[in-house]
Chain A
Amino acid sequence: MSEKSEKSEKSEKFERLSVLKTYKLYVGGKFPRSESGRVYEVADSKGNWLANAPQSSRKDARDAVVAARKAFGGWSGATAYNRGQILYRIAEMLEGRKDQFVREVGDAEGLSKAKAAAVVDAAIDRWVWYAGWTDKIAQVVGGGNPVAGPFFNLSSPEPTGVVVVLAPQDSSFLGLVSVIAPVIATGNTAVVIASEKSPLPALSLGEILATSDLPGGVVNVLSGRTTEIAAPLAAHQDVNAIDLAGADEVLAKELEIAAADNLKRVLRPQPVDYSATPGTERLTAFLETKTVWHPTGSLGASGSSY
C-alpha cells in the first residue's frame, strides 16, 4: 500500500509540466501582446534561449502614447505626497519578488547570484530614493523670486508631459529603474522602450507596477527593436520629451532631429554609473517652470500692508 502510493507520487512528479511564462507588454495598465503578433527570442549572456518577448510595432507605440496621455491628468494632478507613497509601494512590491528579479537580472547580465542580488537591492533603494524626492524637488528648483514691485513672484516646477524613455541597453534593471523613477516622480507619464537585448526584467517590472497602486498608463513598457519603435515616437506630435539613454550615437542623432520638429525636450545619452547615487539631473530634465505674479495687496502708509 505504502509502496504503491510512493510510486504514484513519483509518477506525478514526473508528469508535472513546466509552465513557461508568456512575457507581454505593459500598456495602459493591461498586459497585451504586440498588435503585430510578433515575438523575438531573448537569450541569456551565454546565448541560451530564455523566453520569447513581444516585438512591438509602431502601432503599439502609438497606443502607448495614447495611454500615457490619458493617464497624465490624473498622475500629474496627484499630490506629490501621494506619488511618493506609490513609488515607495513599488519598492515594497519588488522586495517581495526579489528572487525572481535576481534570477532574471543574473540571466540577462551574466552576473553571479550575489552580484545580481546586489543590483536588485540597489534598484529597490533607487525607488525609495526617488520616492523621497517627489515632495522635495519643488523646494529645490522652485521658490519665491525677488522682484521690484508690490508682487509676489513664485516659480514652481511642473511636469513636462508624456516622456519617451529609451532604457539603457546594458543595465537591464538598475539602469531601467534609474531612468523611469525620476520621470514619473515629478508627475510625468512614461513610454519606456526596454533594453533590446535583455527586456525580461523590464517586462516583469510591469507586473510590479500593476500591483503598486500606480494608475494604468503612467508607465508603459514596450519591448522590441529599439530603432523601429523609437523612430515614430521621436516624431510623435503628442510626446513632449525623450530620454535617449539607450540610444547609440547614430540613433541618438537621428532621433534628436526627429524630436526637434515639435520642440521636444531631449536628454542626450551620456555615460552614467548607475550604481552610484544619482543627482537631481534626471528629475529636473523633464520639468517646466511655471512662474506666477501675485499682488501683495495695497501697501499701508508705513510702506507695509501688515
Chain B
Amino acid sequence: MPTSASSPKLSAPREQGGTPTALADVTASDSTLRRFLHGLPGVDAVGLEARAASLGTRSIKTTAKAYAIDLAISMVDLTTLEGADTPGKVRALGAKAVHPDPTDRTTPTTAAVCVYPDMVAVAKEAVAGSGVKVASVATAFPAGRAALDVKLADVREAVAAGADEIDMVIDRGAFLAGRYMKVYDEIVAVKESCGTSARLKVIFETGELSTYDNIRRASWLGMLAGADFIKTSTGKVAVNATPANTLLMLEAVRDFRAQTGVQVGVKPAGGIRTSKDAVKFLVLVNETAGEDWLDNHWFRFGASSLLNDLLMQRQKLATGRYSGPDYVTVD
C-alpha cells in the first residue's frame, strides 16, 4: 500500500524518463503494472468529497488572504489555447504574465504562459528576461488521438522553440481499455523527447476517466513513467478541476514521495475562476501534500480568467474598496 510505505527511501535516485528505482519492478511488464495499479487502495468517494468540502470551509482573512492571493498569482499558468490565437494575443498575454497589474509593480509575476507549440517562439520573446516560463501543450492536444511519432514531433517542435514545460495528454482510450503499458511507454517516450531542459506535465483529463479509482491509477501511472507534474484536465471538457479530484492527486504525490523520495507537482486546470476557489485549492495543498508544495515549482493553476479575479481581490485588499472589471485587462 502506498500510504503505508515501510521504509521510504527519500534520497532514491530517479533515472531519466523512467521509474524510480524503488518501484522499478512494478513496470517490468504489462501484468506487473496492472497488478500494481489495481492493487492501489480503492477511493472512498463519499469520504473524499466530504474531506474536500470541509477543507473548503476554512476562513482565510487579512494577512493570510493577502499571502494566499500573491501565492496564487505566482502559481498561475496564464493560458490561451484557442484556435483563434494570434501572435498579438500571445504577446499581450506575455505582457500580462510579466506585469499582471501594471498599476502596482509589487504584484508577483505569474508562473508561466501556456500556449500551443506554434506560439512558443512568440511567447518566449514576450516574456524574455522576466523569469516567467513558457509552457506548451503538445501530443495532439486536447484529444491526444494521433500516432506516437506525430505526438513526439509535436513535443520536439515545442522544445526546439524554447518551451520550458510540456503539457502532454495521455491516451485516455488506451487507459480506459486497460492498456496501461501503452500509456506508460508513451509518457516515457515523451519524457525522453523533452530532454533535460523541459519539465513534463501529464494531463489525465479526469472528466473522462469516470471514476476516482481511475484517477488514482492514472496519477500513479504518470508518476511511475516520470511525470514532473500531474495535471487534472485540458479545460476543454465539461468537468475540469474539482476540489475532490485535485485532493486525490495531492494524496497521490504525497504518497509517491513517501515511497520513492521523488517529489511531483500538481496542476489543477480549468473551471477555477474566483480567488475564493483558488484559496480553497491552496488549503487543500497545505493540508494534504504539505508546505513543500506551496511553491510555483510544485503547484500551478491552469487558468485564464482566474488572474483577473485575483487582481481585483488584491486591489480590494490594498485600497479597501471593491474593484471592478474596468480596472483589469480584458483578454
Contacts and interface: CB of A to CB of B under 8 A. Distances in A.
Interface of A: 62, 65, 69, 232, 235-239, 258, 261
* Chain A binding surface, main DSSP class: helix
B322 A65 contact: yes
Interface stretch (B184-192, B252-260, B323-331): B323-331
B58 interface: no
Contacts of A236: 321-322, 324
B318 to A, nearest CB: 12
Of the candidates A62, A236, A237, A239, the one having the most CB atoms from chain B within 10 angstroms of its own CB is A237
A199 to B, nearest CB: 23
Contacts of A239: 324
Nearest to B315: A237
Interface of B: 315, 320-327
Name the residue in A65, A69, A238 with the highest tally of chain B Cβ atoms < 10 Å from its Cβ. A238
A86 to B, nearest CB: 26
B323 to A, nearest CB: 5
Contacts of B325: 69, 238
A258 B321 CA distance: 10
B322 A62 contact: yes
A169 B137 CA distance: 59
B317 to A, nearest CB: 14
A82 to B, nearest CB: 26
Nearest to B321: A235
A232 B324 contact: no
Contacts of A261: 321
A69 B322 contact: no
Nearest to A232: B322
Contacts of A235: 320-322
B319 to A, nearest CB: 8
Contacts of B321: 232, 235-237, 258, 261
A239 B324 CA distance: 8
Contacts of B326: 237-238
27 contacts: A62-B322, A65-B322, A65-B324, A69-B324, A69-B325, A232-B321, A232-B322, A235-B320, A235-B321, A235-B322, A236-B321, A236-B322, A236-B324, A237-B315, A237-B321, A237-B322, A237-B323, A237-B324, A237-B326, A237-B327, A238-B322, A238-B323, A238-B325, A238-B326, A239-B324, A258-B321, A261-B321
A65 B324 CA distance: 10
A147 to B, nearest CB: 31
Nearest to B325: A238
A62 B324 CA distance: 10
A232 B316 CA distance: 11
A232 B321 CA distance: 7
A293 B204 CA distance: 55
Nearest to A59: B322
Nearest to A236: B322
Nearest to B327: A237
B305 to A, nearest CB: 14
A258 B327 CA distance: 17
Contacts of A69: 324-325
Contacts of B315: 237
A144 to B, nearest CB: 31
Contacts of A65: 322, 324
Contacts of B320: 235
A232 B319 CA distance: 12
Contacts of B322: 62, 65, 232, 235-238
A258 B323 CA distance: 13
Given A237-B324, A238-B325, 8 more contacts: A232-B322, A236-B321, A237-B315, A237-B323, A238-B322, A238-B323, A238-B324, A238-B326
A120 B241 CA distance: 51
A65 B325 CA distance: 12
B45 to A, nearest CB: 30
